[in-house]
Each structure stands twice: as C-alpha cells, then as structure tokens.
Amino acid sequence: MKTLGWIVGALAAGAFVGCGGLGVGGHAIYRIATSEEVLGKDCGQPDDGNSTTLKSGGTFILTLPASDAETPLLDTGNEVIPGKETDDGYTFDGESVQRQDLGPVDATLVLTEHVTVKMSFDGSTVSGTETRATTTKCEGTCTGFDDTSCTSTNDFVGIELEDAVIVEN
C-alpha cells in the first residue's frame, strides 16, 4: 500500500509542476525562444536599422530547493537567480556588483548589473521578459569619467519539457 501512495503522490506532484507550480524539492525544465534584445534609450546606441525575426534558443530550469522552500531558483544557463511566486507565475531578481581599484589614483570603478525575469504560465507554456539594467560609476577622483547606464529587454516564450533529463557537461 505504501508503494501505491508514493506513485499517487508522484503523479500529483507531476501534475502540479505542469500547471506552473512546484512542490518542495521539485523542478521544471523549459525550452525557450528569446527575441532580439531591445536596448533602452539610456544605452546611447543609435538605431542602426538592423532587425531580425530569428530567435535564440535556450533552456530554463526552475527549481524549488528543499533547503529553502520559500525561494524558487531560475537557472538560465548563464546564472541562477532567486525569485518569488506571484499571482501569475514567478519574478526573479538578482544583482551583481563588481568593484575595481583604479591603481595609483584614489578611484574605484563600480559595475552593477541588475537582472529581473518575469515568468507567467498557461498550462505547459511559459512566457515572460528578462530585463537587464547595467550601470558603471566611478567613486573617488574620477576626472573625465561619465557614469553610464543601459537597460535591455528580451521577451521569451517556451514550453515545459515533461520528460527531460538534466545532463551535466
């Protein structure tokens, strides 16, 4: 009887993941297509007239670790971003701050990148937007240095891969 209970529990957990929700210790794998990056006006890039209808492919892995059931994690293949559940899916927010001492002058270069990914679900399909805001500032004696910022966005759509297996390289 214990075996039957485990099988029913596993099937129920699998159905819950397919609806965009995760059980503690669970994961869902999504194959996504990402649109061309759109740079904000703050990036200072002129419109060069280039465009494409081609999309980039990728894989997102959404996990809800047993060690911290309140914080879902999104593995984008480049980084793992902590998040929270919302009414229609998840929002993931992460920030990286890199500081570099500029040597003999009393100055430090500070590069900050803030990443937000919003995901919503409709059955086994997923859609959302990734936003990256990058700023570069100089602290201290920074003669001739102007602070910069750039915000970019990408939209994505995808599907859940129900029988996918994760293989490490």
Helices within 40-159 (DSSP H only) = none
- What's the confidence (pLDDT) of residue 17? 41
User: What distance in Å separates the CA atoms of residue 13 and residue 60, rounded to the nearest whole number?
Assistant: 19
Average pLDDT over residues 75-103: 94
Q: Using the CB atoms, write b or e for 15-42: b if 16+ within 10 Å.
A: eebeebbbbeebbbbbebebbeeeeeee
User: 135 versus 47: which is more confidently predicted?
Assistant: 135
109 within a domain of the structure (yes/no) = yes
Q: Is the pLDDT of residue 15 over 70?
A: no
Positive or negative, the CA dihedral 119, 117, 161, 68 is negative
Q: Please write the tens of the pLDDT for every residue from 25-83.
A: 889 999 999 998 888 888 887 777 777 788 999 999 999 988 888 899 999 999 999 99
Calculate the average pLDDT of the chain. 84
31 within a domain of the structure (yes/no) = yes
Domain that holds residue 64: 2-160
169 within a domain of the structure (yes/no) = no
Average pLDDT over residues 127-153: 93
167 within a domain of the structure (yes/no) = no
- What's the confidence (pLDDT) of residue 21? 58
The count of domains in the chain is: 1
